[in-house]
Structure 1
Amino acid sequence: MARAALTRLVEPGDATVGRWLRELGPVELWRALIGEAAPPLGAGPQRLAGCALRAADLDPAADLAAIARLGGAFVCPGDLDWPRQLDDLGDARPVGLWVRGRASLRLWALRSVAVVGARACTDYGARVATTLGAGLAERGFVVTSGAAHGVDGAAHRGALAAGGTTVAVLASGVDVPYPRGHAELIARIAEQGLILAELPPGAHPTRGRFVLRNRVIAALTRGTVVVEACYRSGSLVTARRARDLGRVVMGVPGPVTSALSAGVHELLRGEAVLVTDVADVTELVGQVGEEPPPERRGPVVARDALDPVTARVLEALSARGGNEVEEVARGSGTGRDEALRRLQELLALGFVNRQGDRWELNHAGGRRGGPRRGGP
């Protein structure tokens, strides 16, 4: 009850409050801030006066009843469902989390990846975010973002479209959809996933609360992917906080002419790893003990199976008119007998034809799909 009350009394991410909470405990801190006990060390009169004004209208029991009506709960540090990776925030960790949805937050956070980026994203950014959201969901990862316009919304929609799981971390109460244009999307996330907030039901967002919300996204997830971001984007704050917490930081490159890619490219010059698709992301954030993804290579052609000497003999043949054995031997750096033996091998494989003393490329290719022209 004391922690629920504190979420309405103090602002999220206040490390000073976190230190007081660690030293005094939630009940004693609540009493100290409302004047029923000695004030905590360092609490000035203005701060205590502000807390007193807020405390006059607080009703934590009503807030807890409201979250219960929404089908959710208030989760505190030490609860079975508390994601312990949030403890990495130290004194800036949340006092508690208001959670809307019935899934296990702790279990979902273990396989969660953040996909964040610009609100005014391009079609390219929206397409990449949607594809990443869907691909991560199909591979069993939970897609976490902030439910904002642009990249955030596209990532959530991708996960939902794939029938996967997604988490939205809001800078308002879980019952206050923001932005308002995403009310339907946030309602779908509440049904199919989870809505989280540090602020109690009914609370509205402010500019500062968006920035503080980003630290929760960074700490909650195994890694953060930035799709598009200008130099002053809040998603860069998320990425750098993730880096400081030891999480994987990833960036999707974009056109060098786009201001919305400039921030991502700056990350890629330093702390971020370049990723281009969901396979790159899962390789970096995949769990220990999982099978590594297969090595990605270009298409295999028939001549890839040839040993180096046979390949040199094949390359020594002219694309037009063919060659005699002596010319092939000279071009491939082999003896005449060796060149002849290799040519006969290539004939059997369907790479070449023989016309009297001359050997020609078979432009139709070998039995296993050989070259169509003489070049590599």
Structure 2
Amino acid sequence: MNGDDRGGDPLARIFLTRVLEPGDETGGRWLREYGASEVVRRLREGGAPPLPGVSGTRWTGLLARAARADPERDLATARNAGTRFVAPGDVEWPAQLDDLGDARPLGLWVRGRPSLRMWALPAVADEGARACTEYGAHMAAGLAAGLAERGWVVVSGGAYGVDGAAHRGALGAGGATVAVLACGVDRPYPRGHAGLIDRIAEQGLVVGELPPGEHPTASRFVLRNRVIAALTRGTVVVEAAHRSGSLVTARAAQRLGRFTMGVPGPATSSLSAGVHDLLRGESTLVTDAAEVVELVGDIGQLAPARRGPVLPRDLLEPATRQVLAALPGNRPASPEEVARGAQTSEDEAVARLYELRALGYVERHGDGWKLTRQALISVRDGRTRR
């Protein structure tokens, strides 16, 4: 494991996961300019002046954290829990995370057997409201199952609501899923999802930036979402109110040049208001896995064309359909009137009317022609579809 971009102590980045918060761009700049080992040395020595970009007060706080950091203990705890640390430069490191620049994770703690780098290549985020509706859970699970069946890895945050439905949908389809947590991966959160997260670790991957035993906070949830956005080719949001954290993921995905998609809901639902705002911008409306893959997949992976059911009248020749449409629905009409409505000759209209009678669409009424009950239903359905 190469834990230092300059080839230093592999434990240096593990040390820093105890000192720096996820997404700390000032710390990321220190690593880029000085290397992890030098940053750790300065934090351990604790002398003045502080590293550039921080106040004296903040430097004091970082030194207090550094005094308690024990990377060897964290690594041993992680190994006992079946967890490994993957750092930039490692074979398993997903290169797309480098798009985060100085906000790139120091490294990731990973539970599960598969290679994180390989699984992140065909990955899509399936995110949304915690307090989702039955519709939201159904759509999230269906999208995840469809993506899993097509060989895609479903990434989400392990939370209640849409996240949990997405993970279960992928697992239920026998597919691959990754949970990105805002806490130590040995400490599943929420506790009600401990069984689900353990199952994900057995069949997939559980990933997080924070060292063993660390708890989640509101800011850590928000910062976790940038990892989900960077790790995947695109983010699908299923139900999200205006202040939903899943919108943070979508906006991060947009900044990173990833695809953003939204599943629409009722116009009156506050839980879909955030999704609808996304769709009014640069996001794409999707309703199933095929439409997601058409956007994020390779050239030629097109979703099937959408159309309504084929009605018997759709199989008629255009000229015959035109004559059928020219007949009024509530009374008989003369051949002359039908011809005028169909914009054809009277002889042609009569020929088409006899054809329609043979098919059960019209019947003679004296010198006129009238639609049968079957034709009335067909014409009404056709007009409704238009």
1:3 to 2:13 alignment: yes
Q: Which moved more, 1:127-136 or 1:171-180?
A: 127-136
What residue number does 1:299 align with? 309
Q: Deviations over 1:193-252 (max 9, x none)?
A: 110000111211122111111111111111112222222221111111111111111222
Q: Which moved more, 1:225-234 or 1:87-96?
A: 225-234
Partner of residue 247 from structure 1, selected from 258, 263, 268:
258
Counting only pairs closer than 5 Å after superposition, residues 261-280 of structure 1 correspond to structure 2 as 261-280=272-291
* Residue 321 of structure 1: how far off its partner (Å): 6.9
Q: Which moved more, 1:189-198 or 1:334-343?
A: 334-343
Q: Deviations over 1:4-63 (max 9, x none)?
A: 111112111001111111111222222122228985333444344333322233222232
Q: Deviations over 1:321-348 (max 9, x none)?
A: 7555434323312112222333354456
Q: Deviations over 1:152-174 (max 9, x none)?
A: 11211222222211111111111
What is the SS of the residue equivalent to 1:195?
strand
In structure 2, the CA distance between the partners of 1:291 and 1:212, relative to structure 1 (3 Å rule), is closer
For residues 358 and 215 of structure 1, the distance between their equivalents in structure 2, rounded to whole angstroms, comes to 71
State the AA in 2 paired with 1:295: A
For residues 87 and 166 of structure 1, the distance between their equivalents in structure 2, rounded to whole angstroms, comes to 22
What is the SS of the residue equivalent to 2:125?
strand
Q: Is the 8 A contact 1:76 1:96 kept in 2?
A: yes
* Residue 361 of structure 1: how far off its partner (Å): 4.5
Q: Which moved more, 1:139-148 or 1:94-103?
A: 139-148
For residues 7 and 19 of structure 1, the distance between their equivalents in structure 2, rounded to whole angstroms, comes to 15
What residue number does 1:341 align with? 351
What is the SS of the residue equivalent to 1:262?
helix
What is the SS of the residue equivalent to 2:68?
coil
What is the SS of the residue equivalent to 2:260?
strand
1:229 to 2:243 alignment: no
For residues 135 and 3 of structure 1, the distance between their equivalents in structure 2, rounded to whole angstroms, comes to 38
Counting only pairs closer than 5 Å after superposition, residues 291-370 of structure 1 correspond to structure 2 as 291-319=301-329, 323-346=333-356, 351-352=361-362, 361=371, 363=373
State the AA in 2 paired with 1:11: E
Give the share of equivalent positions with the same residue, in percent.
Answer: 64
What is the SS of the residue equivalent to 1:34?
helix
Q: Is the 8 A contact 1:67 1:100 kept in 2?
A: no
Structure 2 residue ranges without an equivalent (≥5): 1-10
For residues 269 and 377 of structure 2, the distance between their equivalents in structure 1, rounded to whole angstroms, comes to 40
State the AA in 1 paired with 2:108: L
For residues 368 and 273 of structure 2, the distance between their equivalents in structure 1, rounded to whole angstroms, comes to 59
Q: Is the 8 A contact 1:34 1:51 kept in 2?
A: no
In structure 2, the CA distance between the partners of 1:326 and 1:257, relative to structure 1 (3 Å rule), is closer
What is the SS of the residue equivalent to 1:297?
coil
For residues 379 and 267 of structure 2, the distance between their equivalents in structure 1, rounded to whole angstroms, comes to 37
What residue number does 1:22 align with? 32
Q: Is the 8 A contact 1:317 1:361 kept in 2?
A: yes
What is the SS of the residue equivalent to 1:56?
helix
Q: Is the 8 A contact 2:141 2:169 kept in 1?
A: yes
For residues 374 and 79 of structure 1, the distance between their equivalents in structure 2, rounded to whole angstroms, comes to 66
Q: Is the 8 A contact 2:188 2:194 kept in 1?
A: yes
State the AA in 1 paired with 2:279: L
What is the SS of the residue equivalent to 2:292?
helix
Q: Is the 8 A contact 2:154 2:178 kept in 1?
A: yes
State the AA in 1 paired with 2:208: A
* Residue 357 of structure 1: how far off its partner (Å): 6.5
Q: Is the 8 A contact 1:143 1:167 kept in 2?
A: yes
Q: Which moved more, 1:274-283 or 1:349-358?
A: 349-358
Q: Is the 8 A contact 1:317 1:374 kept in 2?
A: no
Q: RMSD value over aligned CA atoms?
A: 2.5
State the AA in 2 paired with 1:129: A
Counting only pairs closer than 5 Å after superposition, residues 135-174 of structure 1 correspond to structure 2 as 135-174=146-185
Q: Which moved more, 1:304-313 or 1:139-148?
A: 304-313
Q: Which moved more, 1:172-181 or 1:349-358?
A: 349-358
1:130 to 2:131 alignment: no
For residues 364 and 41 of structure 1, the distance between their equivalents in structure 2, rounded to whole angstroms, comes to 82
What is the SS of the residue equivalent to 1:64?
helix
1:257 to 2:268 alignment: yes
What residue number does 1:176 align with? 187
Q: TM-score w.r.t. structure 2 length?
A: 0.87
Q: TM-score w.r.t. structure 1 length?
A: 0.89
Q: Deviations over 1:74-103 (max 9, x none)?
A: 111122221111111111010111110011
For residues 369 and 198 of structure 2, the distance between their equivalents in structure 1, rounded to whole angstroms, comes to 71
For residues 55 and 319 of structure 1, the distance between their equivalents in structure 2, rounded to whole angstroms, comes to 84
Q: Deviations over 1:126-171 (max 9, x none)?
A: 2222222222222222111111112211211222222211111111
For residues 317 and 88 of structure 2, the distance between their equivalents in structure 1, rounded to whole angstroms, comes to 62
In structure 2, the CA distance between the partners of 1:289 and 1:72, relative to structure 1 (3 Å rule), is farther
What is the SS of the residue equivalent to 1:11?
coil
For residues 54 and 43 of structure 2, the distance between their equivalents in structure 1, rounded to whole angstroms, comes to 9
